[in-house]
């Protein structure tokens, strides 16, 4: 990481990024005093520019062709539907001026922009991530510079250029959104050093770099969702939603179901339903062949990420039925010696058997202590007791109930979660927030405090300390 005092003339990367940040800062200053109506008009225009049907179709096709990750249907859903849903989620939020009043404490909160947001965009979700981050930034009257994964640089430029054109048509400066068109690790690191706040979505190494940049950063933890199906669940509903979640965009999302735990009472019946939905149970030999191609030198092999079952099977050297939609790998252990217990980024789930909800909770915590702690887990159940037992006993920021995990934990129309592609994992995942990160995380707030009408009075020691005084005597 370059020193904060580095002279831009000492390094061409520093100079290039400094020029981008200067342009971005100048644009941000032009909207710093925009009204709520002006801000909301901008973000509506930005989404429409990329989400209109014919444009969304073009972006989805471009994304698949460039990245060779996921599939057209998944990409189209994200650019056409997810961006709309995110806009809908925030469009009525008040982000300008007084955004909150607390009469009891006589405090008023005023929103202020942060400035230049440095955003990292991954190769797995490069179609909607720049849009969602950009409208969250502009909603807070910030500007944004997007550093894409090199594998998605053309897609990123296409999307950012479309938003820039729309911004200009709304009478605002195009440089509210800037793409780093020729990305590199050095440029991304320098952007994180020079911007005012980092919004990092990407691999663990990049998020760690964001936290080490010296700039306030919002990062995300590793995803490794564990899903429990208990004896009270609607098994047909659970099987279909697990299939949906596991196959969405060929599991490009870190929220895809990585492990599924079935309790004894419904194990055989539920497994049969998963097989009927296109799940293929790997033999021990095929499991080893899959493992050999999925991990190379301890890291996930990028060549198999978000690929079709047939592509993976052909590479690994085993046969699968034509109707296979996802792989089922029976597991009992967890940790480095059981790599399938970790994140896989493929259409593959580890399958566990538990005696009951208590063992399922223990398994969930053990699996996620290896990878994914703090991110999310889920449960299919009609028992509030089991649902709340799981929620209370797991170290997780999100528990999705009777919902397809990868389509739900980042927000969807069927739940109240905030729409985003940036999921904070709290201290469990090494993050500073548990939030579904949105515009509220990208502003400063000024708290105006006036005297209370009646000042508070300290109670007597007897009231404040009570029997504690006696216990300490």
Measure the CA angle with vertex 406, ends 425 and 148; round to 5°.
70
The contacts of residue 178 (CB under 8 Å, 6+ apart) are 20, 23, 24, 143, 144, 145, 146, 160
Identify which of 298, 437, 435, 425 has the alpha carbon closest to the alpha carbon of residue 373.
Answer: 425
Q: Quickly list DSSP for 378-423.
A: EEE-S-HHHHHHHHHHS-BS-EEESS-HHHHTT--TTS-SPP-S-B
DSSP-assigned letters across all residues of 1-15: ---TT--GGG-HHHH
Catalytic residue among 160, 195, 254, 377: 254
**Tokens describing residue 309:** 């079952």
Distance CA 258, CA 334 (A): 12
Location of structure tokens 């697990």: 242
* Distance between first and last Cα of the chain: 55
β-pair type (197-200, 399-401): unpaired
CA 46 to chain centre: 21
DSSP code of residue 470: H
Cα separation of 328 and 335, whole Å?
Answer: 18
Rounded Cα–Cα distance for residues 56 and 83 (Å): 10
CB atoms within 10 A of CB 204: 15
Query: Rounded to an integer, what distance in angstroms lies between the CA atom of residue 160 and that of residue 163?
Result: 5
Q: In DSSP terms, which residues pair with 352 in a beta bridge?
A: 261
Residue 254 appears among annotated catalytic residues:
yes
Hey, what are 442's tokens? 């990208």
Question: Which residues, 6 or more positions from 250, have their beta carbon under 8 angstroms from its beta carbon?
Answer: 69, 70, 71, 74, 306, 307, 308, 346, 347
Write down the H helix ranges in 317-356: none
Q: Nearest CA to 434 among 379, 404, 406, 396?
A: 396
Given a contact cutoff of 8 angstroms between Cβ atoms, the answer to whether 204 and 373 are in contact is no
Q: What does residue 124 show for φ and ψ, rounded to 5 degrees?
A: -80, -30
The tokens of 303 are what? 């060549």
**Beta-carbon contacts of residue 189 (< 8 Å; ≥ 6 apart):** 1, 2, 209, 213
Residues with a known catalytic role:
254
């Amino acid at each position: 990481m370059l020193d904060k005092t580095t002279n831009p003339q000492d390094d061409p990367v520093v100079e290039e990024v400094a020029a981008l940040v200067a342009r971005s800062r100048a644009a941000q200053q032009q909207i710093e005093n925009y009204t709520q109506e002006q801000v909301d008009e901008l973000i509506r225009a930005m989404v429409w520019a990329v989400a209109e049907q014919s444009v969304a179709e073009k972006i989805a096709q471009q994304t698949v062709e460039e990245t060779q990750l996921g599939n057209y249907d998944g990409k189209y859903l994200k650019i056409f539907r997810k961006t709309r849903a995110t806009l809908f989620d925030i469009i009525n939020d008040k982000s300008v001026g007084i955004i909150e009043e607390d009469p009891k404490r006589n405090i008023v909160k005023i929103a202020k922009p942060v400035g230049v947001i440095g955003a990292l965009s991954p190769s797995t979700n490069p179609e909607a991530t720049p849009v969602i981050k950009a409208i969250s930034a502009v909603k807070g009257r910030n500007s944004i510079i997007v550093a894409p994964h090199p594998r998605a640089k053309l897609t990123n430029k296409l999307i950012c250029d479309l938003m820039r054109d729309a911004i200009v048509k709304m009478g605002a400066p195009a440089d509210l959104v800037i793409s780093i068109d020729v990305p590199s690790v050095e440029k991304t690191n320098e952007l994180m050093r020079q911007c005012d706040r980092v919004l990092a979505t990407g691999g663990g190494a990049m998020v760690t770099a964001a936290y080490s940049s010296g700039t306030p950063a919002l990062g995300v933890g590793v995803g490794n969702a564990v899903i429990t199906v208990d004896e009270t669940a609607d098994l047909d509903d659970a099987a279909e939603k697990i299939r949906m979640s596991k196959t969405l965009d060929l599991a490009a999302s870190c929220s895809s179901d990585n492990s599924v735990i079935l309790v004894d009472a419904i194990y055989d019946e539920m497994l049969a339903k998963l097989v009927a939905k296109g799940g293929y149970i790997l033999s021990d030999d095929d499991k080893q062949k899959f493992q050999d191609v999925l991990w190379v030198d301890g890291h996930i092999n990028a060549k198999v990420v978000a690929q079709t079952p047939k592509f993976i099977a052909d590479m690994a050297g085993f046969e699968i039925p034509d109707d296979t939609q996802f792989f089922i790998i029976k597991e009992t252990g967890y940790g480095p010696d059981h790599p399938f217990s970790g994140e896989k980024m493929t259409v593959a789930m580890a399958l566990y058997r538990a005696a009951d909800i208590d063992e399922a909770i223990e398994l969930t915590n053990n699996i996620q202590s290896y990878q994914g702690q703090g991110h999310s887990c889920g449960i299919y159940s009609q028992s509030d007791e089991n649902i709340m037992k799981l929620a209370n006993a797991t170290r997780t920021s999100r528990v999705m109930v009777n919902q397809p995990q990868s389509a739900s934990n980042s927000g969807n129309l069927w739940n109240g979660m905030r729409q985003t592609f940036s999921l904070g994992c709290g201290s469990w995942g090494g993050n500073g927030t548990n939030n579904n990160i949105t515009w509220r995380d990208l502003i400063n707030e000024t708290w105006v405090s006036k005297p209370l009408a009646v000042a508070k009075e300290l109670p007597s020691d007897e009231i404040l300390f009570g029997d504690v005084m006696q216990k300490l005597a």
